[in-house]
Amino acid sequence: MSDAFINFDKVSKAFGIMTVVDNLDLSIGKGEFVSMLGPSGSGKTTLLMMLAGFESPTSGAISVAGKRVDSLPPHKRNMGVVFQNYALFPHMTVAENVAFPLRMRGASRSEIVERVTKALDMVQLGAFQERKPIQLSGGQQQRVALARALVFEPEVVLMDEPLGALDKKLREQMQMDIRDLHHRLGLTIVFVTHDQTEALTMSDRIAIFNHGKIEQIGGPSEIYDRPRTQFVAEFIGETNLLSGKVTSSSNGLLNVTLEGSQPIKVASTATYEPGKHVKVSVRPERIELDAVGEGQNELKVRVTDIVYHGDHLQVEVNAGGRRLVVKANRKAVAPEIGQDIVASFSPEQCWIVT
Ligand SMILES: Nc1ncnc2c1ncn2[C@@H]1O[C@H](COP(=O)(O)OP(=O)(O)OP(=O)(O)O)[C@@H](O)[C@H]1O
Ligand SMILES: [Mg+2]
């Protein structure tokens, strides 16, 4: 990441007695693509609204390129915004919609024509200039909104669930388009989504929100493969959580005895006192069935259910009274319900969450 470009310094926002953004610190580098992911009501939109200038913080400071922006009105912040409920103007044509931010900024007629054409070409809607929004599909409307956000060449683009209303195929197309624009124009993008796959595939970093705070922020693989807390592990992807007690630790390996006295090893750079209760997270796709390997954790399990997913099987097993979910590769021999088998995973593919 480059140096902090956008900076939130101890920013809080309260509506009445309810604090919805809570003493939040966040730095975003120039050209970075950062996604915000979190449950409904956790403060994502509020954060974006404060950055865009539609809400002001109750306390704390927001700066961009080293300058405080807290008291600047939205149109002085040079940020493009695409909000889900920030609809196109229905009475204006596509070209007029896209021209709007330029007219607000007092651009000349010739400049407007040139820039609108360029922006619409960029989202492949050059031929649609004279249409009204109602004559466009949902995805085309979203692309017009994107063109309108980009037409004045902002350095920062804020997007709040911009692809929420689109079907899967269109959504994937738009994800590629936005990623491409991000790279081509070197935009700094702050993106709110409910779709974890979208966050994982598009972002340089993902911030996981919980009750107005960032519970963890990091690159996609860091968030997915090494969630620090139970909340993050359960919020992004699926996970199995095993409760146990640390018995000893040496050389980056913890010995943990699971409830039911099954011992396993967990790779960990942190040290824990013997006797400490811990939760171990292991992703369904990290568990193998009936594959024996050196140094693996092995649990004797009974298959209780198998659900067909096309590209994989979701196998539910009972491990000493605990239900585990395993995402089984279709290349392996399919297990059968009632079968006793061994579920294994390596110490590196499970970790402690707090
Ligand atoms: N103008 C407002 N007045 C009062 N409360 C508000 C206002 N705007 C937001 N809130 C409250 O602040 C909290 C955070 O809202 P916010 O819109 O930031 O959540 P969010 O993370 O974007 O949720 P979602 O994923 O559902 O969009 C919610 O409890 C919401 O009801
Ligand atoms: Mg929201």
> What is the tens place of the pLDDT at every residue in 190-222?
999 999 999 999 999 999 999 999 999 999 999
Q: How far apart are CA 196 and CA 223, in angstroms?
A: 11
Best probe residue, ligand 1, of 13, 19, 44, 56 (max atoms within 8 Å of C-beta): 44
4-227 shares its CATH topology with 238-353: no
- Max CA pair span of the chain: 76
Fold of 238-353: OB fold (Dihydrolipoamide Acetyltransferase, E2P) (2.40.50)
The pLDDT value recorded for residue 304 is: 96
CA of 308 to the centre of ligand 1 (A): 38
pTM, rounded to two decimals: 0.88
Average pLDDT, the chain: 91
Nearest CA to ligand 1 atom 9: 46
**Ligand 2 (single-atom ion) residues, CB below 5 Å:** 45
The pLDDT value recorded for residue 49 is: 94
The pLDDT value recorded for residue 307 is: 94
283-311 per-position pLDDT tens digit: 999 999 987 778 899 999 999 999 999 88
Nearest CA to ligand 1 atom 13: 41
Ligand with the closest atom to the CA of 24: 1
Looking at domain 4-227, its CATH architecture is: 3-Layer(aba) Sandwich (3.40)
Tell whether the torsion through CA atoms of 259, 264, 267 and 273 is positive or negative. positive
Q: How far apart are CA 216 and CA 242, in angstroms?
A: 21
CA of 21 to the centre of ligand 1 (A): 10
The pLDDT value recorded for residue 261 is: 81
Percent of the chain with pLDDT over 70: 98
Q: How far apart are CA 87 and CA 145, in angstroms?
A: 8
Average pLDDT over residues 83-92: 83
214-255 per-position pLDDT tens digit: 999 999 999 999 999 999 999 998 999 999 999 998 888 999
Average pLDDT over residues 141-160: 91
Q: What are the domain boundaries of the chain?
A: 4-227, 238-353
The pLDDT value recorded for residue 2 is: 44
CA of 42 to the centre of ligand 1 (A): 7
Ligand 1 neighbours by CB, cut-off 6 Å: 15, 20, 38, 40-46
Instruction: Name beta bridge partners: 68.
Output: 63
Q: Which atom of ligand 1 is nearest to the CA of 212?
A: 14
* Position 151 pLDDT exceeds 70: yes
CA of 228 to the centre of ligand 1 (A): 26
The pLDDT value recorded for residue 232 is: 95
Average pLDDT over residues 267-287: 92
Distances (CA, A) of 300 to 87, 166, 288, 312, 320: 55, 44, 12, 22, 8
